[in-house]
């Protein structure tokens, strides 16, 4: 039954005794004892009343959010191969086999903490070790070739070339003398033309041998050509790069943790083959020391929620709420829901919360000090318009009011009633304008309002401190989507 219908029924009930005499006169009937009892006014109902007080109001948004870790990483292998092993953890299982009790260390699996740089999984390294040895051999050969080229000719070799040059010059001198003698004898026909030609050819060959010996000696003394050195050096550099590549591949067979974390899941086991492309997921790790409570806030609060706002984060199983702070605010409003996402940072070093869980976030959006307030039960709404029932001279009267902030216990009264006036604070659904009541003083407004934040449980000594920042020295608006 709506309040409008209840008000109508109350008005009809209170108007009935006034209408009865007129109806009796109209029908010509005499007054009886029954009608006299019906005409008597109804007994006033007992209603608790309290004066409008003054208090401080702190309005909060009650939001439901999801906990996400500061960092979450899916571990994959950058090389192809078979999983050789997972490092043993400190956790031991015992089981019976063939009548004997055996102990076995568990390999790293979900829930195990790991340190940055610690090996998470070992890929079979044999093929990569062989490739590295081959690359090292190629590098050694290229380096020796370069060393030989740079060493060039030893002093003994240069001396030998000088001796060969002297020998060639001596042979050339003999051939030249023979040629001159043949030239003198040819006109007298002491030598034939054929002999002369052979002598001339021998002289030319001797002169060519001298030039060849001179060139060999000059090359030995000059050293290798720059182009030859450059080619040899490039071969050494390429061989060293191949060694580095193979060493990196070998190093990647030991997949290591990128940061201190906890293993959240493991997807493969020893003996299974993993590949870099297509990617095969090995495990997932998370950093649970800092969690984000991600909540959605209505668009109308976009200018109210600010970076650095302190919130209270509650969850099932927590004895008291944990403090959190707004460190990320999305710069984009979802066009479908007309909300924007906010992330509240929570210090979780005591591991009181788990990633993926639901939490309730109380986010302050406004406060007012020393303002007129009434309990929330004192305010009634009719067609969305708030009002209170003011008690005066044995009756209550409906007075429209304008309400402001509310902390769930009291409403701020902007206009309508002044502090000190008494209003009904209980059973307001039974009241109607002008209804006689018997007041029961509630003893003031204090019993209906919450204590200041400094006295509430959520303001007690916090279980953990709020981190300075989730990922840096100063929080900032998030450029993308949280």
Identify whether 398 is part of a domain: yes
Indicate whether 96 belongs to any domain.
no
pLDDT at position 372, please? 93
**Which are the contacts of 122, defined by CB distance < 8 A and separation ≥ 6?**
83, 84, 85, 86, 87, 253, 254, 255
| Tokens coding 183 | 């030239």
pLDDT band at 467 (very low <50, low <70, confident <90, very high): low
Residue 229 confidence class, pLDDT cut points 50, 70, 90: confident
pTM, entire model: 0.60
41 has a pLDDT exceeding 90:
no
Domain count across the chain: 3
Q: Quick one: 162 and 188 in the same domain?
A: yes
DSSP state of 181: H
Using alpha carbons, list the distances in angstroms from residue 41 to 22, 132, 314: 16, 106, 52
303 and 435 housed in the same domain? yes
Q: Can you tell me the distance from the alpha carbon of 150 to that of 224, in angstroms, rounded to the nearest whole number?
A: 7
Model pLDDT, residue 162: 79
Counting DSSP H helices and E strands in the chain, the numbers are 6, 22
Half-sphere exposure (Cβ direction) of 299: Cα atoms closer than 13 Å: 8
6's CB contacts (< 8 A; 6+ apart) are 429, 430, 432
Residue 111 falls inside a structural domain: no
In a domain, 191, yes or no: yes
> Residue 360 is part of a domain; what is its CATH number?
2.40.30.170
Q: Show which of 175, 206, 223 is a domain's final residue.
A: 223
Segment 3-17 mean pLDDT? 49
Q: Mean per-residue pLDDT for 32-53?
A: 71
For residues 82-110, average pLDDT: 83
Strand partners, 259: none
* Rounded percentage of the chain residues whose pLDDT exceeds 90: 48
Q: What's residue 443's pLDDT?
A: 58
pLDDT at 310: 93
Residue 81 forms beta bridges with which residues? 274
Burial class (CB in 10 A: 0-12, 13-18, 19+), 27: exposed
Please give the average per-residue pLDDT across 446-457, as a whole number: 43
Q: Quick one: 436 and 295 in the same domain?
A: yes
Please check whether residues 305 and 195 belong to one and the same domain.
Answer: no
Give the tokens for residue 7: 């008000």
Between 187 and 70, where is the model more confident? 70
Segment 46-57 shows an average pLDDT of 90
Whether 123 is covered by a domain: the verdict is: no
Of residues 192 and 262, which shows the higher confidence score?
262
Q: Is the pLDDT of residue 480 over 80?
A: no
Distances (CA, A) of 309 to 161, 227, 342, 344, 407: 89, 69, 11, 9, 17
In angstroms, the CA 7 to CA 11 distance is 6
Residue 357 reports pLDDT greater than 70: yes
Structure tokens that stand for 475 in this block: 């929080």
So what's the pLDDT on residue 248? 96
Calculate mean pLDDT across residues 177-186: 85
**Is 340 in the same domain as 452?**
yes
Q: How confident is the model at residue 471 (pLDDT cuts 50, 70, 90)?
A: very low
Q: Are residues 204 and 314 in the same domain?
A: no
The more confidently predicted of residues 5 and 69 is 69
Residues 357 and 436 in one domain: yes
Residue found under tokens 């290229």 = 142
SS (H, E, C) 367-401: EEEEEEEEEHHHCEEECCEEEEEEEECCEEEEEEC
Same structural domain, 348 and 432: yes
Identify the domain containing residue 450 by its residue range.
56-64+288-459
Give the separation between CA 165 and CA 157, rounded to whole angstroms.
12
**Statement to judge: residues 299 and 183 lie in one domain:** no
Task: Note the pLDDT tens digit of each residue in 117-133.
Answer: 999 999 999 999 999 99
CATH of residue 164: 1.10.287.470
Q: Is 33 exposed, middle or buried (0-12, 13-18, 19+ CB in 10 A)?
A: exposed
Q: Residue for token digits 């479908």?
A: 336
């Amino acid at each position: 039954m709506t309040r409008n219908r209840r008000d109508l029924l109350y008005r009809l009930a209170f108007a009935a005794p006034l209408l009865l005499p007129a109806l009796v006169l109209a029908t010509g009937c005499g007054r009886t004892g029954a009608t006299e009892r019906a005409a008597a006014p109804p007994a006033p109902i007992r209603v608790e009343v309290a004066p409008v007080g003054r208090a401080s109001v702190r309005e909060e948004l009650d939001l439901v959010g999801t906990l996400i870790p500061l960092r979450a990483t899916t571990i994959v292998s950058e090389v192809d191969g078979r999983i050789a092993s997972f490092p043993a953890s400190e956790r031991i299982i015992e089981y019976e086999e063939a009548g004997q009790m055996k102990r076995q260390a568990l390999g790293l699996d979900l829930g195990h903490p790991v340190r940055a740089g610690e090996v998470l999984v070992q890929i079979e390294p044999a093929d990569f070790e062989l490739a590295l040895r081959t690359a090292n051999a190629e590098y050694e050969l290229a380096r020796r070739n370069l060393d030989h080229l740079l060493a060039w000719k030893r002093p003994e070799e240069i001396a030998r070339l000088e001796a060969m040059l002297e020998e060639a010059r001596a042979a050339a001198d003999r051939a030249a003398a023979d040629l001159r003698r043949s030239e003198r004898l040819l006109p007298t026909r002491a030598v034939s033309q054929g002999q002369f030609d052979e002598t001339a050819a021998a002289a030319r060959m001797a002169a060519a041998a001298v030039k060849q010996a001179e060139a060999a000696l000059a090359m030995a003394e000059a050293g290798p050509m720059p182009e030859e050195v450059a080619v040899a050096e490039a071969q050494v550099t390429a061989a060293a790069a191949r060694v580095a590549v193979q060493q990196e591949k070998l190093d990647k067979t030991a997949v290591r943790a990128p940061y201190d974390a906890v293993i959240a899941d493991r997807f493969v086991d020893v003996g299974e083959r993993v590949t870099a492309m297509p990617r095969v997921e090995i495990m997932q790790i998370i950093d649970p020391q800092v969690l984000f409570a991600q909540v959605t806030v209505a668009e109308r609060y976009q200018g109210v929620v600010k970076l650095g706002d302190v919130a209270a984060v509650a969850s099932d199983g927590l004895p008291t709420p944990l403090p959190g702070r707004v460190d990320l605010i999305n710069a984009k409003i979802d066009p479908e829901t007309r909300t924007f996402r906010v992330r509240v940072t929570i210090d979780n070093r005591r591991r009181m919360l788990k990633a993926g869980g639901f939490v309730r976030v109380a986010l302050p959006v406004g406060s007012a000090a020393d303002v007129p307030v009434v309990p929330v039960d004192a305010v009634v709404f009719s067609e969305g318009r708030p009002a209170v029932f003011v008690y005066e001279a044995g009756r209550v009267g409906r007075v429209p009011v304008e309400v402001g902030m509310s902390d769930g216990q009291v409403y701020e009264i902007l206009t309508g009633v002044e502090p000190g006036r008494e209003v009904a604070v209980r059973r307001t659904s039974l009241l109607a304008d002008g209804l006689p009541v018997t007041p029961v003083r509630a003893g003031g407004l204090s019993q209906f309002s919450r204590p200041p934040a400094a006295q509430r449980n959520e303001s007690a000594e916090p279980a953990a401190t709020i981190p300075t920042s989730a990922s840096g020295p100063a929080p900032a608006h998030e450029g993308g989507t949280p």
